[in-house]
């Protein structure tokens, strides 16, 4: 008996989660609309003063994207636990951590990527200079996968508990502080014409670390969640 290779299994997982997301396309649009509305509130609350909005634009977009991702995070494993798909995944002759990494990748593709696509629009609404946009997008490309990975660990840890949504936010947001500091730091530095590569490099290093460790932590946490 030969179980299928890793590539086949990874492709099957990724395809499954992307198909499921496509069947529920409305859910993909939700975080995007949320981010649009939240960003729109800032000029109303602070007044249409150009210099003020420009100064806060990078930070506002980053925090808004973070909060929008938080909305969709809760659903990452919950439906799989409810319908027993996770049990089948745990029992499959494939490394669980890798399969979960595919799930996290699918989740990032369906929630974070649309947000990154509209990020220049959000930043434009707050008059962020066009020259800074590439740095903003780069910072988002590095920081959103970290949020997905950190979030996945916490979702796995809180799996099966009631009111896990609020608990998740309370646990995840403090962990996001360094991510926000470095990402916003890069955007601010680029806005002031300073070198912005250092914070980006730090984000990249942290992302690599999380890419390796987060799926393993997720797998361990979900095994414990099932063993109860």
Partner 1 sequence: MTAAPTAAPNNTPLLEARALSFHRQEEPVFAALDFRLCEGELALIEGDNGSGKTTLMRILAGLLHVDEGELYWRGEPLLQRDRCIGEILFLGHQLGLKADLSPSENLRISLGLHGCREQVSIASALAEIGLSGYEDESVRRLSAGQKKRVALARLLLLPATLWLLDEPYANLDRTGIALVNRLLENHLACGGAALVASHGTVSFHGGEPQRIRMHA
Closest by CA position to 69, among listed 182, 177, 149, 14:
149
Beta-carbon neighbour count of residue 172 at 10 Å? 20
Distances (CA, A) of 219 to 45, 81, 95, 97: 43, 13, 9, 5
- Does 25 bind partner 1 (CB under 8 A)? Our answer is no
What is the end-to-end Cα distance of the chain in Å, rounded? 31
Task: Say whether residue 26 binds partner 1 (CB under 8 A).
Answer: no
Q: Which two tokens stand for residue 221?
A: 């946490």
Stretch that binds partner 1, among 10-18, 111-119, 129-137, 202-210 (CB under 8 A): 10-18
Residue closer to partner 1, measured from CB, 111 or 190? 111
Which lies closer to partner 1 via its Cβ, residue 50 or residue 82? 82
User: Which is closer to partner 1, CB of 19 or CB of 198?
Assistant: 19
With CB under 8 A as the contact rule, the residue among 18, 20, 38, 125 that binds partner 1 is: 20
112, 213, 215 from 75: Cα distances, Å: 14, 21, 17
Judged by CB under 8 A, the chain residues 56 through 95 that form the site for partner 1 are 79, 82-85, 87-94
- Do residues 60 and 184 make contact, with C-beta atoms less than 8 angstroms apart? no
- Interface with partner 1: number of residues (CB under 8 A): 30
Positions touching partner 1 (CB under 8 A) are 1-4, 8-9, 11-13, 16, 19-20, 23-24, 79, 82-85, 87-94, 99, 226-227
């Amino acid at each position: 008996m030969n179980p299928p290779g890793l590539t086949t299994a990874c492709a099957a997982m990724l395809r499954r989660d992307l198909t499921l997301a496509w069947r529920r396309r409305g859910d993909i649009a939700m975080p995007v609309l949320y981010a649009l509305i939240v960003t729109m509130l800032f000029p109303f609350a602070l007044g249409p003063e150009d210099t003020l909005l420009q100064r806060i634009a990078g930070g506002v977009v980053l925090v808004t994207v973070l909060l929008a991702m938080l909305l969709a995070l809760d659903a990452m494993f919950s439906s799989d636990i409810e319908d027993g798909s996770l049990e089948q995944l745990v029992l499959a002759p494939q490394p669980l951590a890798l399969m979960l990494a595919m799930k996290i990748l699918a989740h990032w593709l369906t929630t974070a990527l649309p947000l990154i696509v509209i990020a220049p629009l959000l930043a434009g609404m707050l008059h962020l200079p066009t020259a800074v946009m590439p740095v903003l997008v780069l910072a988002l490309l590095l920081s959103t996968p970290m949020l997905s990975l950190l979030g996945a660990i916490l979702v796995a840890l809180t799996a099966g508990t009631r009111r896990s949504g609020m608990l998740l936010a309370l646990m995840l947001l403090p962990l996001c502080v360094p991510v926000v500091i470095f990402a916003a730091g890069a955007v601010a530095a680029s806005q002031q014409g300073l070198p912005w590569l250092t914070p980006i490099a730090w984000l990249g290093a942290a992302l690599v670390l999380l890419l390796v460790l987060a799926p393993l932590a997720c797998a361990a946490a979900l095994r414990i969640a099932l063993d109860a």
